[in-house]
Amino acid sequence: MTTDLELATRLRQTIARANRKIRSTTSSQLPPHYITVLALIDRYSDISLGELARLEQVQPPTLTPVIRRLSDLGYLVSRQDDDDRRCTRVSLTATGRRELTTVRKQRNEFLEARLATLTETQRSAVASAVELLNDLLELS
């Protein structure tokens, strides 16, 4: 019988390996953590750098070179907050949104191709596992 600790370890390792595998399937020239930053900016549009750093669990100065590079590449724009001039807010440009859409499409196509190799019973089990993982990790 598997203990909860053993299961937790296997689950963590599997999620980490799956994430690395999925992240490696894109043809984007951006490092994976840049894509993560773009995705967060997309999700929370017009987000402050402080909030973005909190979500990324880093100090704001750590994000500065990433934001500068993404801005230089035309993926995002930054501006001073209207109410607090010390606060910088960032949002995606059309170019940034296209890049993120392309990356997501490539990742989805990778998974779709892998799912196509499964039987209907296996796909049903994966669907159930996804729902269970969402509930387990409160991602719903």
Query: pLDDT tens, position by position, for the chain (140 residues)?
Result: 889 999 999 999 999 999 999 999 998 999 999 999 999 999 998 899 999 999 999 998 999 999 999 999 999 999 887 887 778 899 999 999 999 999 999 999 999 999 999 999 999 999 999 999 999 998 75
How far is residue 50's CA from residue 128's CA, in Å, rounded to a whole number?
36
User: What pLDDT was estimated at residue 87?
Assistant: 84
Q: What pTM value is reported for the model?
A: 0.85
Cα–chain center distance at 56: 10
**How many structural domains is the chain composed of?**
1
Structural domain range at position 93 = 4-136
Burial 69-84 (b: 16+ CB within 10 A, else e): ebeeeebbeeeeeeee
How far is residue 131's CA from residue 125's CA, in Å, rounded to a whole number?
10
CATH for 40: 1.10.10.10
How far is residue 109's CA from residue 115's CA, in Å, rounded to a whole number?
10
